Amino acid sequence: MELRNLITFTHVAELGSFTKAAELLDYSQSTVSFQIKQLEDELGCLLFERINHTITLTARGHELVSYAHQVRALTDEFKESLVKGEDIDGHIHIVTPDSVCEEMINSHYIDFHNRYPGISVKFTTADTTVMFDMLDHNEADVIITLDSHSYHKDYIIAKEEQLSMHFVASPDSKYANIKNLSIRDIINEPFILTEYGQGYRRVFDKELAKLSLELTPVLEIGRTDIITSMVSQSNMISYLPDFVTDELIEKGKLCYLDIRDMNLDIWKQLIYHKNKWISKSLKTFIDYVRSAEFTR
């Protein structure tokens, strides 16, 4: 079995396209097709279903992905053993919500860069639906979601953590020291929230709908640093994860509101596609996140 055919197979499996794999590998499409055909003939089984110009992995194809990744990992390990030094080079693309991007850059990126200066990182922000679409098309290496708990057989959850969330306001708010409030007590107050339909905002709106309530914020914006700054200086209210607000709570610039009837099940999850080739640089990032605090 030729290693190059196996590597071509993993790229086709990741990208879901002979054409995209050919572009990535700088091959002609006919070369990619020929290599996959060689592999199928050698193994005596069909690896891809080809229907109406689309391809999907067969059951045997899914099995081979796992073995192919192991072969690539061993090959890379051997190549690295021939090179002196322990520097890790590579590029990784991470897609997150705005608030997670801010937190990771502010709290963790400098430390990660100091440890692994050879790894370049691209951060992109998106909502949960777009994130999974990017995983499916191999446009993202990993995603970090802030949403209801996600599980699907095609994805690997590398790390997850349930989040605490609170309604927050200025310490001068008229609701600051009132106990056992209902969401109905504050529903008509001016709210500043993250964008409609994204992550925990979507879950929040669904929970309001269950109570036959609707909230129209005076401002919607993805930047949680702007949200917390504006809330601390006004009579506005917001609903945010604790890792966004805990420092300002400690400093007395924000306060939690005691709302008894709004407890959402929100999770922060680090996810990658099961067919994704885990390069050493990507494994290094995943291991770093696993060993670090997922939130501050």
CB 215 within 8 A of CB 187: yes
**Long-range contact pairs involving 27-33 (C-beta distance under 8 Å, separation at least 24):** 32/8
Query: What is the token pair recorded at 244?
Result: 């966004």
Q: For residues 266-295, give the mean pLDDT.
A: 86
* pLDDT-wise least confident of 61-75, 115-129, 237-251, 274-288: 61-75
- Model confidence pLDDT, tens digit, residues 138-184: 889 999 999 999 888 889 999 999 999 999 999 999 999 999 999 99
Cα–Cα nearest to 145, from 94, 204, 89, 74: 94
pLDDT at 167: 97
Task: Quote the strand ranges of the chain, DSSP E.
Answer: 48-51, 54-57, 90-96, 119-125, 142-147, 155-163, 165-169, 192-193, 219-220, 237-241, 255-257, 266-273
- Spacing of C-alpha 1 from chain mean position: 35
More confident residue, 70 or 34: 34
Q: What is the mean pLDDT of the segment spanning 22-42?
A: 91
pLDDT reading at 25 higher than 60: yes
Distance (Å, whole) CA 222 – CA 126? 10
Q: Which of 17-31, 84-98, 168-182, 279-293 has the highest mean pLDDT?
A: 168-182
Which of 215, 16, 195, 5 has the alpha carbon at shortest distance from 98? Answer: 195
Tens of pLDDT, residues 59-108? 898 889 878 877 877 777 676 666 555 678 888 999 998 888 888 888 88
In the block, residue with structure tokens 């605490």: 164
Residue 219: band (very low, low, confident or very high) from pLDDT cuts 50, 70, 90: very high
* Distance of alpha carbon 113 from alpha carbon 119, whole angstroms: 7
What dihedral angle (degrees, nearest 10) is formed by the CA atoms of 286, 289, 294, 296?
Answer: -150
Give percent of the chain above pLDDT 70: 95
Instruction: Give the long-range contacts of residues 109-118, CB within 8 A, separation 24 or more.
Output: 112/285, 112/288, 115/288, 116/88, 116/281, 116/284, 116/288, 117/87, 118/87, 118/88, 118/89, 118/90, 118/281
Laid out side by side, the sheet with 165-169 consists of: 237-241, 165-169, 255-257
